[in-house]
């Protein structure tokens, strides 16, 4: 199943709520891994149990995260059960599996947070960080 929650391709879409929970670097790594998952899925290079490989060098090239930052981020993602990793093959390559169900639950919880009531009168205009200016109307 292709995962299109956070996007893939030449741009990253990093969810702000995810960043608040796991940090920017772990969020960046997860987003990049989702893109890799989709790539390997499309090319039928995912194992039966959902694993695909990615090297330290490739991750650093794509994300600029050093080996140390990757290790920290992977630890966070594993602690939150967002990914699983294992070594496969000879020589051993690190393989990743995105725990889609956990990711969906995490994203759903963030979507259920109440949105503020943004009702305003017809004669109010929002400018500069949603501050209401009752005195002037601007035409754009």
In a structure prediction context, what are the per-residue pLDDT tens digits for the chain, which is 140 residues long? 556 655 545 677 888 888 988 999 999 999 999 999 999 999 999 999 999 999 999 999 999 999 999 999 999 999 999 999 999 998 989 999 999 899 888 877 655 554 555 554 444 444 444 455 555 554 54
- pTM comes to 0.71
Q: Give me the residue label for tokens 């943004």.
A: 118
- Domain membership flag for residue 87: yes
- Domain membership flag for residue 6: no
| Strand arrangement of the beta sheet that strand 52-53 belongs to | 52-53, 93-98, 83-88
123, 133 contact by CB (below 8 A): no
Instruction: Please tell me the distance from the alpha carbon of residue 19 to that of residue 17, in angstroms, as a whole number.
Output: 5
- Domain membership flag for residue 28: yes
Who's near 95: CB < 8 A, 6+ residues apart? 47, 51, 52, 53, 85, 86, 87, 88
Instruction: Please tell me the distance from the alpha carbon of residue 66 to that of residue 63, in angstroms, as a whole number.
Output: 9
User: In this predicted structure, what is the pLDDT of residue 69?
Assistant: 98
User: In this predicted structure, what is the pLDDT of residue 138?
Assistant: 45
User: Residue 68: which domain range?
Assistant: 16-133
User: In this predicted structure, what is the pLDDT of residue 123?
Assistant: 46
Who's near 20: CB < 8 A, 6+ residues apart? none
- Domain membership flag for residue 22: yes
- Domain membership flag for residue 7: no
Looking at the 3D structure of the chain, how many domains does it have?
A: 1
Q: Which CATH number belongs to the domain containing residue 118 in this structure?
A: 1.10.10
């Amino acid at each position: 199943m292709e995962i299109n929650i956070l996007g893939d391709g030449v741009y990253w879409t990093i969810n702000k709520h995810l960043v608040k929970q796991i940090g920017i670097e772990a969020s960046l790594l997860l987003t990049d891994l989702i893109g890799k998952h989709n790539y390997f899925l499309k090319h039928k290079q995912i194992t039966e149990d959902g694993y695909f490989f990615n090297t330290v060098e490739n991750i650093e090239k794509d994300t600029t995260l050093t080996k140390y930052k990757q290790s920290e981020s992977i630890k966070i993602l594993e602690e939150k059960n967002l990914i699983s990793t294992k070594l496969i093959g000879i020589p051993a390559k690190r393989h990743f599996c995105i725990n889609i169900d956990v990711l969906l639950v995490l994203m759903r919880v963030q979507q259920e947070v109440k949105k503020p009531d943004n009702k305003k009168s017809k004669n109010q205009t929002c400018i500069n960080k949603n501050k209401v200016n009752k005195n002037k109307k601007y035409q754009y």
